[in-house]
Amino acid sequence: MKPFEYYSPQSVAEACALLAQLGSGAKILAGGTDVLVELRKSADDVASSIIDITGISSLKGIEESSNTIVIKPLTTHTEILRSALVGTYAPLLKTAVAGIGSPQIRNRGTIGGNIMNAAACADTVPPLIALGARIRLQSSTGDRTVALSEFFTKPYITVAQRGELLVEIRFPKLPSDARSSFMKLGRRNALSISRLSVAAILTRDQSGVLTDARIVPGASLPTWHRVSEAENLLIGHKPTRELFVEAGKKVSDIMISFTGRRWSTEYKEPVIAVLVRRALEECH
């Protein structure tokens, strides 16, 4: 590990000022479960200064207003897992964080770090996009809100500018009649990075007809987004296994239309279809 300067600002304003002042060599440190691994690679382009934001108490916690859940970026995966608000209003997010890394990683790793690291396998992102999350970014010159679905441009690349701090994640509460799920396929149960994943939300009316459907695959498309082509197959119909199979095939077709056929397609094509079907079946 190369030497670096270490700063621990105690407020968002202080952190933003440091980011502006230190420029391109500065790296924000939250739980460190991605940053520390990166620092150890001791490549030439590692950070020359670390801005540890874990002392900023206003960036911690989960809050609700009448229709909205607000999660602050320094909230750890363990805190999300134990949150009654998330369990009630965003159960698929709870399922997703339960599968991240290991207890040790969940105790340190934060939702903000998971989003800002922007790895294709980030497990909180598909659920958050399905929930319609928006994030707030703050810098020394102002702040702005971005829909999470428009935040990522490709793996590890986002529209965040240098000097912007993620300060808030917010999404509408799921209605009480909505059902949701998250499924992840890794190489083993713990400590496995998602090879493929799916977040799904379904809402039925009184007669059992689907009125809302949201499907967001993870780690399979160039960036995360809802697959409206598959969602539209479901809305207005009563759920059946055949319908879910069809939606799964559609997602798989869309994936191939983006990625083209390559060595992994033979495996991924049927697997993503089955994963989508199972995720939809879980929404009962």
Ligand X SMILES: Cc1cc2nc3c(=O)[nH]c(=O)nc-3n(C[C@H](O)[C@H](O)[C@H](O)COP(=O)(O)OP(=O)(O)OC[C@H]3O[C@@H](n4cnc5c(N)ncnc54)[C@H](O)[C@@H]3O)c2cc1C
Interacting residues with other proteins (CB under 8 A): 1-8, 29, 31-33, 36-37, 40, 50, 52, 54, 78, 101-105, 107-108, 189-191
Nearer to ligand X, 158 or 252 (CB): 158
Which SS3 state, helix, strand or coil, does residue 91 take? helix
Cα separation, 17 vs 56, in Å, equals 14
Q: Give burial (CB, 10 Å; 0-12/13-18/19+) of 60.
A: middle
Look at residue 52 and give the partner it binds from other proteins, ligand X, none, a contact being a CB closer than 5 to 8 Å depending on partner kind: other proteins
107 contact, one of ligand X, other proteins, none, CB 5-8 Å limit per kind: other proteins
The least CB distance from residue 8 to ligand X, in Å, is 13
Are the C-beta atoms of 81 and 115 separated by less than 8 Å? no
Q: Kindly report the CA angle at 27 between 22 and 31, in degrees rounded to 5?
A: 140
Rounded CA gap, 284 and 75, in Å? 29
> Which lies closer to ligand X via its Cβ, residue 30 or residue 255?
30
Task: Please state, as a whole number, how many other Cβ atoms lie within 10 Å of the Cβ of residue 21.
Answer: 12
C-beta of 104 vs 264, nearer to other proteins: 104
* Chosen from other proteins, ligand X, none, partner binding at 190 (C-beta under 5 to 8 Å by type): other proteins
Place of tokens 């999300």: 80
* Closest residue to ligand X in the complex (CB): 113
103 contact choice in ligand X, other proteins, none (CB below 5 to 8 Å, kind-dependent):
other proteins
- Find all residues with CB under 8 Å of 257, minimum gap 6, and list them: none
Check: CB of residue 282 under 8 Å from CB of residue 183: yes
Which one of ligand X, other proteins, none is in contact with 3 (Cβ closer than 5 to 8 A by kind)? other proteins
Measured from the CB atom, is 93 or 276 closer to ligand X? 93
Query: Shortest approach of other proteins to residue 280 CB, angstroms?
Result: 26
